[in-house]
Amino acid sequence: MAHVSFDASALKQFVHDNELSEIQAMVNAADSQLREGTGAGADFRDWLHLPTEYDQEEFARIQAAAKQIQSDSDFLVTIGIGGSYLGARMALDFLHDSFYLAHADNDDQTMVVFAGNSLSSSYLQDLINLIGDKDFSINVISKSGTTTEPSIAFRIFHEMLVKKYGETEANKRIYATTDKARGALKTEADANGWETFIIPDGVGGRFSVLTAVGLLPIAVSGADIEQLMAGAAKAEATYVDPDLTKNEAYQYAAYRNILYRKGYTTELLENYEPNMAMLAEWWKQLAGESEGKDQKGIYPSSANFTTDLHSLGQYIQEGRRNLMETVVKLDQPNHDLNVPGAANDLDGLGYLEGKSIDWVNTQAYRAVVAAHNEGGVPVMTVHIDKEDEFTLGYLIYFFEVAMGISGYLNGINPFNQPGVEAYKTNMFGLLGKPGFEEVGDKLRAQMND
């Protein structure tokens, strides 16, 4: 059984049969750029073989650190933003039950919580209140150690840790995931004896979930990271042939580029399971940072069905025809219930009594695909057989390799993100950071005007 499968059957009215074969030569060229390192950003392709060539010694240290944290901490505060946060958060939602944090009072389970992913003081205070007087450790994740949001959060929780345990014991409870040799965080970690894990030089943040960036918090949550890597390794072996009749990850990349050239410039990643909402957030960074440059790229958005059918459904059905949809459809839910009977039928559900709710959910999915196709919206589906570690590792690699190919098909470097520095320069100027005073003066003058 394929753990991940791609279904493009609903594209028939949008993509002619000949178009896939006609883009094959471009896919071959993109594959060569990716595999042979001839494309732009070649230094950041180490994620490509990460599932089979990861550092076994560090992996063992990650597992040992996870056991230590589970033994001495009620909470692990994971501090990071963007790729240093989204992968782990997505995995926890995907692999645990919908009310994971509701189990925070369970003495037998270490809860992984997140900080440093916003500049909200209310969020930080709420997290401090949640931890209370419980035991906790910190996993601070940053390549440089100078990113504003996580650096502020780390100062707060570091101070809290030292006040609770003292400097010596606090140092034993800090785990730094950072550059192997340089940067502010690496310097501080070495000076204080914190255990460190490496963000590989050749793996960009949005591709880093299968490094220590994601693996440590995922392991602390109780998930099986060996199975996660095994699923990714299976996908690595599966998606090597550039032949579009055989490689479904490349098919996905090809179809979305064919549709993009026809004016479908926004892609909605959709699900029918609430605990996949963060999967879409992770995917949005992967797609947006990989493709959105040089005034090109598919805009990544998302929707959670059936919930958002009651809010966004009208626009998707009859709004501007620039949307394409990719559904991640779970075929075997973790749990299923039947619609119960009732003494009366005032709600009109008598015709569903005894039916599986997942069956109802699947019929809703099928009905939506048909309706949106009729309304002029192309729909692709990525089927996953279940929500477990092996499947998630497989799915992560599916999307990663698809985005690498998709970027090259669009003639851009899929592994850089030069545009993210623009807002930082302005923010530093307004905050008064040394060296950015002139920028701040200029912006304040403009705002006064």
Q: Would you list the domain boundaries of the chain? A: 4-39+234-410, 48-223
Which pLDDT score is estimated for 104?
72
Give the three-state DSSP class for 114: strand
Q: What's the pTM?
A: 0.94
Point out which residues pair with 325 in neighbouring strands: 268, 379
Average pLDDT, 10 consecutive residues per value, the chain (449 residues): 89 95 97 96 95 96 98 97 94 93 80 95 96 97 90 96 97 96 94 96 95 98 97 97 97 98 97 96 96 94 96 96 98 94 92 95 97 97 97 98 97 85 70 73 71
Q: Residue 27 in contact with residue 244, Cβ under 8 Å?
A: yes
Q: Residue 400 in contact with residue 37, Cβ under 8 Å?
A: no
Tokens at 88, concatenated: 């782990």
Which pLDDT score is estimated for 101?
80
Which pLDDT score is estimated for 449?
61
User: Position 75: which residue type?
Assistant: F
Point out which residues pair with 381 in neighbouring strands: 7, 327
In 3D space, the residue among 51, 52, 32 whose CA is nearest the CA of residue 42 turns out to be 32
Positions of E strands within 279-408: 299-304, 323-330, 379-384
Which are the catalytic amino acids? 289, 424
* Domains 4-39+234-410 and 48-223 equal at CATH topology level: yes
In this structure, whether the domain defined by 48-223 belongs to CATH 1.10.150.20 is answered with no
Which pLDDT score is estimated for 421?
67
Residue keyed to tokens 């620039």: 322
Domain 4-39+234-410 adopts which CATH fold? Answer: Rossmann fold (3.40.50)
d(CA 153, CA 162): 14
Q: Which residues of 76-95 are buried (b: 16+ CB within 10 A; e: fewer)?
A: bbbbbbbbbbbbbbbbbbbb
Residue keyed to tokens 């883009």: 23
